[in-house]
Amino acid sequence: MVEIEVDGRAVQALPGQDLLAACLAAGIYVPHLCAQPNLPAEGGCRMCTVEVDGEESPVQACEVTVAEGMVVRTRTARVEKIRNVALELMLAPHPKDCTSCAAYLNCELQALMQYTGVAHSRLREIEKETARIGSSDSIIAKEMFRCIQCTRCVRACDDLRGVGILQLNHADGEVYVGTAGDVPHSQTDCRFCSACVAVCPTGAIMDVPGLFRTDVPRTQALVPCQDSCPAHTDIPLYLQLAGQERYSDSVAVFREKLTFPHSLGFVCSHACESGCKRGKIDTPISIRAVKRFAVEQDPDQRWRERTSVAPATGRRVAVVGAGPAGLTGAYYLARKGHDVTVFERSAKPGGMLSYGIPRYRLPQEVVDAEVATLVEDAPFTIVTGTDVSQVAALREQFDAVLVATGAQAGRRPPEFAAGWPNAFDGVDLCHRWNDGTAPALGDVVNVLGGGNVAFDCARSVKKLGATTVRVLCLEPFSTMLADAEEGREALAEGIEILASVAVAPVVGDDGRVVALSVSDVVAFSFSSDGLHLDLVPGSERELALDSVIVATGQQSDLTPACGLELRPGNFVVVREAGATGVDGVFAAGDAVNGTSSVVGAIADARRATSAVDRYLGGDGDIEDTLFDREGHDPVLGTIPDFSGLARTDCRTAQAVTTETSRCLHCELRRDIDTAKYWTDPVFKAPVVAP
Ligand code: FES
């Protein structure tokens, strides 16, 4: 270490460290603007001016390297005069509308004005002709009249990222920051990493408003794909590894959080893709398809060698339900050394993966292989064909119980509640198609509902030979709950979609539904007394049918006999981390939350599993590290026509590499240091007067 003295205080500095960094690290605030720890020093703003004994003139702390015995003064009259004049010169062309700037209260320039007491310039205001040059893009908002030419953005783009699309331009005798030719970033080699945004000390270069969530920690919000994934998988990393053809490493990364990566490669609701920031530029990265490709190129599954099972605890756990949530719970509890038995009503494990999703979307052998892998890696017992209705009573035989029975009962609107012989629940039909017991439905089948189950039913019926298949839903097409590709593919398969319609059954003399009465909807709303419809006058017509499938929602099929407190829909009421009102009985997944998604059920089961382990005396830690992080390379470099790269189908290694190269690498922004303000608590230590 190097010992120096700053304002009378002894400071230990690192050899080779610059004086500014040494002072800040020691809790001594020295003003600075153009300096930023991730960037090479520029030394232009003069805010960090200090006096060093033995130096005739004041120096810039960001440009001076510490030396043993150096004696430094940061607040002398000479220093403050230089600093204040430099700040006034900077403020002369700067707008005075701080309160209407998006960076208000997050502006390093504003904070320096408060620190120094320098108000807007005493100098004549300077109007810069070039101040309004600089167009915004879909994710980067520019107000270049707020630029102070500290060149942090230029250095971030050039030195940090190796992209170099920002530069100092010259026009009309003025210098300003811009792109070559002042074109938008989308017409340059910009990688849209937003490093320029992260380092800008003012409101000149900002994220467009609303780009990130504000209700979660900033580091989480900054990577929207990972934030949107219910399991918060490290998506940027596994995309990058897949793009490098390191498929086993890629699988290892998402297997750290997800128990059914291959199944999810087929059916994940891919909330991550909705969050993907590339979607704001053109289309999101095809994250689900990358995941599936990587799993299918990873026959050796080397990452499995890094999973281990703890010594036996002697504790016995019952899991009710062998769906994604139940099996996830069983796997992690077995890995924590507990003796786990899973009870499943159906003949096969897998829950909705085996029975709720049509085989054309998810092959059964994929599910079977993933279940086998879980049991092989962390042995637990699965008892199929066993219906446990009194789940709470299991607690008498086991040290803990995890209820993960899903939401496997159809929920019908009141007008379809009657049990007509040709009206079927969608979720029940899916189950019966998968176990081979489904009835014939006829040639004309109408499906009610706008979610994935409705489309699973419609597309299954069509593939089974029905001539006329219609999906009817209350919502407009654009806001249907089903994945957008479901709607597109259904239309391509010849299925009719009647969106924004209200339907009522027309029952024949034989007690069967013979038609649906359909009316177009202008608007609808729900209140405590039910559904309110505003219909298009005269739009009512009848659609004849052979059978109708009701896929308008699902609920839990638990009954009060289960011994747990239930809420409407027969969902289990839980307290913190899945704990029910019965000691030692926990619940997770759709049985608690209603139908969400496979990935949502897995994420919820992980939370509850951790709580079960703690209840049993464990530490609750179920986190895995199956891949050793190597640290991020901050340099992105350029990719030809980056903005124009179109989404690929990810069916070949080359396509996956191209697809993953479209990533904006939002995660790199987490590595950029946040601004240090003189008001930060770390700087509250008293500074000795000059
Ligand atoms: Fe050191 Fe600008 S000259 S921070």
Question: Ligand 1 within 6 A of 197 CB?
Answer: no
Q: Clarify whether residues 40 and 117 are in a common domain.
A: no
DSSP 400-417: EEEE-----EE---GGG-
Helices 598-615 & 324-335 angle (0-180, nearest 10): 40
The Cα 202–Cα 144 span in angstroms is 10
686 pLDDT tier (thresholds 50, 70, 90):
low
Closest of 425, 427, 490 to residue 455, by C-alpha? 490
The Cα 577–Cα 383 span in angstroms is 26
Interval between CA 181 and ligand 1 midpoint (Å) = 29
Q: Is residue 679 part of a domain?
A: no
Q: Determine contact, residues 554/451, Cβ cutoff 8 Å.
A: no
Q: Is residue 667 part of a domain?
A: yes
Question: The domain spanning residue 53 has which CATH number?
Answer: 3.10.20.740
- Nearest atom within ligand 1 for CA of residue 43: 3
Interval between CA 185 and ligand 1 midpoint (Å) = 28
Is residue 685 over pLDDT 70? no
Question: The domain spanning residue 199 has which CATH number?
Answer: 3.30.70.20
What are the beta bridge partners of residue 141? 206
Is residue 653 over pLDDT 90? yes
Q: Is residue 100 part of a domain?
A: no
Closest of 474, 466, 457 to residue 549, by C-alpha? 457
pLDDT on residue 445: 97
Q: Clarify whether residues 335 and 276 are in a common domain.
A: no
Domain boundary among 593, 615, 637: 615
pLDDT on residue 327: 98
The Cα 420–Cα 417 span in angstroms is 9
Q: Clarify whether residues 385 and 344 are in a common domain.
A: yes
Closest of 609, 650, 533 to residue 296, by C-alpha? 650
Question: Ligand 1 within 6 A of 86 CB?
Answer: no
CB half-sphere exposure, 33, CA atoms < 13 A: 26
Judged by average pLDDT, the poorest of 416-420, 473-477, 625-629 is 416-420
Q: Clarify whether residues 437 and 513 are in a common domain.
A: yes
Is residue 687 over pLDDT 60? no
Torsion sign, CA atoms 246, 250, 255, 260: negative
Q: Clarify whether residues 541 and 424 are in a common domain.
A: yes
The one-letter code for the residue type at 671 is: D
In tens, the pLDDT along 34-89 reads 999 999 998 899 999 999 999 999 999 999 999 999 999 999 999 999 999 999 99
Q: Determine contact, residues 597/230, Cβ cutoff 8 Å.
A: yes
Closest of 345, 264, 340 to residue 603, by C-alpha? 264
Q: Token digits for 653?
A: 């290694």
The Cα 430–Cα 453 span in angstroms is 8
Is residue 610 over pLDDT 50? yes
Closest of 244, 284, 239 to residue 648, by C-alpha? 284
DSSP 16: T
Q: Determine contact, residues 23/67, Cβ cutoff 8 Å.
A: no
Helix (H, G, I), strand (E, B) or coil at 177: strand
Q: Which of 47, 115, 148 should be mutated for ligand 1, with most atoms under 8 A from CB?
A: 47
Residue nearest atom 3 in ligand 1 by C-alpha distance: 43
Question: Ligand 1 within 6 A of 45 CB?
Answer: yes
Q: Is residue 363 part of a domain?
A: yes
Q: What is the mean pLDDT of residues 399-424?
A: 92
Q: What average pLDDT does the chain have?
A: 94
The Cα 386–Cα 203 span in angstroms is 63
Q: Which of 18, 24, 33, 155 should be mutated for ligand 1, with most atoms under 8 A from CB?
A: 33
Number of domains in the chain: 5
Question: Ligand 1 within 6 A of 83 CB?
Answer: no
Range of the domain at 143: 108-207
Q: Is residue 464 part of a domain?
A: yes
* Predicted TM-score (pTM) of this structure: 0.90
- Nearest atom within ligand 1 for CA of residue 150: 2
Q: Clarify whether residues 437 and 543 are in a common domain.
A: yes
Cα angle value 667/670/673 (rounded, 5°): 150
Residues 6+ apart with CB under 8 A from 314: 339
Judged by average pLDDT, the poorest of 32-46, 66-80, 370-384, 520-534 is 520-534
Q: Clarify whether residues 454 and 574 are in a common domain.
A: no
Q: Clarify whether residues 52 and 128 are in a common domain.
A: no
Question: The domain spanning residue 385 has which CATH number?
Answer: 3.50.50.60
Q: What is the mean pLDDT of residues 403-425?
A: 91
Question: Ligand 1 within 6 A of 59 CB?
Answer: no
Q: Clarify whether residues 126 and 16 are in a common domain.
A: no
Question: Ligand 1 within 6 A of 82 CB?
Answer: no
Question: Ligand 1 within 6 A of 34 CB?
Answer: yes
Q: What is the mean pLDDT of residues 491-506?
A: 95
Q: Determine contact, residues 31/20, Cβ cutoff 8 Å.
A: no
Question: Ligand 1 within 6 A of 291 CB?
Answer: no
The Cα 197–Cα 207 span in angstroms is 7
Q: Cα dist. 82→28, 46, 75 in Å? A: 19, 8, 11
Q: Clarify whether residues 447 and 540 are in a common domain.
A: yes
Q: Clarify whether residues 471 and 562 are in a common domain.
A: no
Interval between CA 636 and ligand 1 midpoint (Å) = 26
Residue nearest atom 4 in ligand 1 by C-alpha distance: 32
Integer-rounded Cα Rg, in Å, for the chain is 31
Question: Ligand 1 within 6 A of 46 CB?
Answer: yes
Q: Is residue 622 part of a domain?
A: no
- Nearest atom within ligand 1 for CA of residue 35: 4
pLDDT on residue 656: 98
In tens, the pLDDT along 183-213 reads 999 999 999 999 999 999 999 999 999 999 9
Interval between CA 2 and ligand 1 midpoint (Å) = 22
What are the beta bridge partners of residue 168? 177
Question: Ligand 1 within 6 A of 33 CB?
Answer: yes
Is residue 689 over pLDDT 60? no
- Nearest atom within ligand 1 for CA of residue 46: 3
Q: Is residue 317 part of a domain?
A: yes
Closest of 20, 1, 24, 3 to residue 71, by C-alpha? 3
Report the 3 state secondary structure along 298-349.
CCCCHHHHHCCCCCCCCCEEEEECCCHHHHHHHHHHHHCCCEEEEECCCCCC
Interval between CA 150 and ligand 1 midpoint (Å) = 9
Within 574-618, strands assigned E span: 585-587
Report the 3 state secondary structure along 44-111.
CCCCCEEEECCCCCCEEHHHCECCCCCEEECCCHHHHHHHHHHHHHHHCCCCCCHHHCCCCCCCHHHH
pLDDT on residue 47: 96
Interval between CA 19 and ligand 1 midpoint (Å) = 11
Domain boundary among 207, 236, 262: 207
Question: The domain spanning residue 634 has which CATH number?
Answer: 1.10.1060
pLDDT on residue 690: 46
The Cα 21–Cα 3 span in angstroms is 14
Q: Is residue 620 part of a domain?
A: no
Q: Clarify whether residues 505 and 587 are in a common domain.
A: no
